[in-house]
Each structure stands twice: as structure tokens, then as C-alpha cells.
Structure 1
Amino acid sequence: MKKIEPFSLSALERIAKIIGERYRGSEITELFRKAGFFHIRHDGSTKWRFVCAALEELQKQPYGPYNVAKVIEKLCDPQEYFGQAEYHKSNVEKVNEILAYYGLEVNLKTGKITVKSSISPTLHSQRSKAEEMFDSRNFHPDVRTHARPLFVEGKNFHAVFECCKAFDKYIQEKSGINKHGVELMGAALSLKGPLKINDQRTETERNEQEGVMYLCIGLMRAIRNPEAHEPELDWPITQEDSLNILSLISFLWQKIDIAVCFEGTT
């Protein structure tokens, strides 16, 4: 096999969705096991998002793109589709549509990845500049879900606003606090709030907790609250501004992901 370029986050997401549609949770664990990755076990979360995160982690390891290729080959292995020839063919065609951008294709008979026989010289430029800019940021999966389609369409304002709303809802659900915006962030993430991003045993840990709280408050005050009341034309956001704000949301989302909720602390 020729040298494989790293797959874009968009490509990994599309592959993950094919896998998510194909397998149940326990079968996803088995897929990774058969591909040689015994440590990856489905945790019960949304299937395609779990797979996408797993593929991202595999790609960060040595020989990363080849790790992803091993999972793709197992997905496309015809022996995994006994009595489902048409389904196998359909999935291989979907995968090949993605691999075409990398000069690769899956052989329908063997399930192995090979160099594509004829490659259009424009394949690698078919992603738009906006897609390349967005994918280069390596955003949190939920930021990609809510923001990427809007950003690619040039809707910078809506990409940021939708992410802020989704982030607000995520904290509301995780904390169990029926508030919104600035009020929610203060109640959920203060030192007495239910969401703890660390043990808060040292001054450094307490400072980190409050720092994340103030960043979340600032995000809501600067973005969500004004945008909820201002017309889009009166609140212009450039591509670069949008990406920078989304990077902040991505950072905060990762912090809340690891936070533990202690009920009855408010």
C-alpha cells in the first residue's frame, strides 16, 4: 500500500457514521478487536461519535493513517457480510467515495485498500477553503456537529450561535439546573456548584474551576446573550472570528466532558 495521508476530520466522521449504521454497540467493540485494537470498547454513547473519537485517537498514534485503514478494511471485509452482498457493495461504494480524495479505493472482492487506478488531478482540491479551515482546528465532535455545516455555507453568525445554544443546553442537562446563559454558568460551575472539573483541594484547582466558570460566563455574555437580541446584520462575525470563538467553545466543551456532577451541592 502506498503512503497514506492523514484523513481529515470530515472523512473520519463520515466513516464513523457508516460504521455506526452498520453495527450495534457490542459489534463496534468486536470490529475494533478484529482490526487489532483490543483496548477500544464501546461505552454506550452515541455510536458514530464514539467511533469518530476512536478513529481520531488511532490516527494520532504512530502510523496513524494505517491504523484507520485497518479498521476500514475490516469494515469492508466481504466475509463480514455473508448473505448481504448488496449491503456490502453499498458500504464499499460509500467508503470509496471518501477514499477517492486520497487516491485510494477498497477492492470489492477482497476488502483491501489499494491505490486507485485513475485519479482525477483535482480530487484533493474538491474540499472548499472553508472546509479546510474548519477541519484544521480539530474541534470537539459536538462543535463539528453543530457548527461545520453552517460554517461551510458561510453562515459564521449562525455557526457560533448554534454552538453556544448547544453548549448551554449540555451544561443545563449535565448539571440538572433549569437556568440559561450567564445565570446557568455561575450556578453550575461556581465553587459551590454541582459541576466539578477537578477535586478543588488546592488553590490552583480552585482557580482553574473558577477560571472555567468565568470563561463560560464570558462566552454567554459576549456571544449568546447579544446574539439572542441582535439582528444578524448588526452582529457581523468574520470567518476568523468564528473559528476563534468555536475554538474557545471546543476547549470549554472538553472541560465539561470531564466534569463530575455532585447533586445537592448548590
Structure 2
Amino acid sequence: MATTTQIRPFDDATVTAVAKAIGDLYSGTELSQVLTTAKLADPDGEGTTKWKRLYNALAAHQNQHGNGKATVALISTAMAPTRTLDRIDRAAVARDTLSQVLSLSGLGVGKDGRVHRAPQARTDTDAHSRATRLRARLESRGIHTIVLSGIRDEWLRTDYYDAVFESIKLLGHRLRSMAGLDLDGHKLVDAALLGSAPKVLLNAYVTATEKNEQRGVASLAQGLFSSIRNPQAHQPRSVWTMDEQDALDVLGTLSLIHRRLDRATLRG
């Protein structure tokens, strides 16, 4: 979570946008619980327009204390995964909106609901353009739809860590589903694509050339699990970064593997 003692007061537009995003996510009664958990006074109470109620609570705290602690606390409380479990899709939209708004203040919202430091966008156009530019580059490369579908624009506005990590997890999910296996990483690739009788066949798997081709694709998948997914899963978020060119290369490799899986057959 961003250090709240270092959070400067947010401008009126940011506070309004935060109030509207969270207000749309919960009922009035639920907002009472959110405000209580975030330790925020609720001067208006239920019956007031939801976003105005939140706005007034945030503005009152900010005016009294001279910092943005209340806004950070409200977001982290409202976006906690345990609280959004029954509205995952709507929460994802709210998280995207909040990350876009906060990017102008050098902040973002993670999948864990916590507010974190992020590269600061200079304008709202800048916040949009980062995501738009990389998505356009991905589409121009013909990136597989499965890869594109798993990438949220909020991830493309930072250092692409989450975009790459989640895309590799999607590959694992697809292999497990196709092969009917409950494995992960190298063990999953070995059982699904390698051995004398692989469950997923990328070709006829008869000639030496065909077997070499299948082993090559399997090696690409294993390489991604070893070099990207495993380090990300075991190292702190703060020490693992991914720049744009690396992200494009990794996502392109994932796309290649998915296209081969599109034409695959299952061993009977």
C-alpha cells in the first residue's frame, strides 16, 4: 500500500471520480460497512446519493487532515478481493477506472485492492495513451485473441508485469483444460506435450521432424514458465520489472504457442 503519510491531498476531480467508481459498486448499506471499516466518518449517512455521500466523507477528512489518506483507505477497503468476490466483473471495471484516475497522481490499484506507486501520467490523455499504444502494437502483430483477452489496460499503463504474468497463467490454464491434467509448470508441459504418448498432439507425431517440432514448442512453453512465471511468483513485486519490448516479445511467443494449440488434436 502506498505510504499514506506521503499522500498529498487529491484534487476535486480525483475525489469525485473515486467516489463515483466505488459508489457504483455497492449498495447504500454496503457503503456504511465500507466506511466503517475504512474508519471514515459518514456525515450524510444512507439516503444520500451514494457518490455524493462518499465524496463528502472524503472531502471532510481531507480538509481536516490535509492529506489523501482517506481516499487511499477507502479504495483499499472497497477493492479488497474478499469484499468484491461476489461482483468480480464489476470490480475489475472499477479497478481499471480507479487506476486510470490515480495514474495522474503516480498511483495505481493492484489486483489485491491495495493502492501502490506507479509511473505518473502527465495528463488524462497520457494515462489512456500508454495502454492504447501497446494494445495497438500487440494487435498489429496479430497477437492471439486469448492473449489479448487476458490483458487489462491498467496493466499496460505500468511496467507490464501483470500483463505478462497473467498471460503465462492463461497458457497453463489452457493446457490443463485441453489435457485434463491437474499439473503446472514443467510437469504440465511434460505430461501434455512430451513423452512417447503426449496427450496434446500438435501434428501427427510420427516422423522425427514432427516429434522435433512438438518438442520445440514444448521447450518454448517451458522456457516461459522457467524464466518469467516462476521468478515472478517467488520474488517480491518491487524487484521484478518488465519493460515494453520484453513484454512484446514474451506475449508474441505466447501467441505462437496458442496458435499451435488451435490446430492441436487430443490423443484418443
TM-score, length basis structure 2: 0.49
Larger Rg: 2
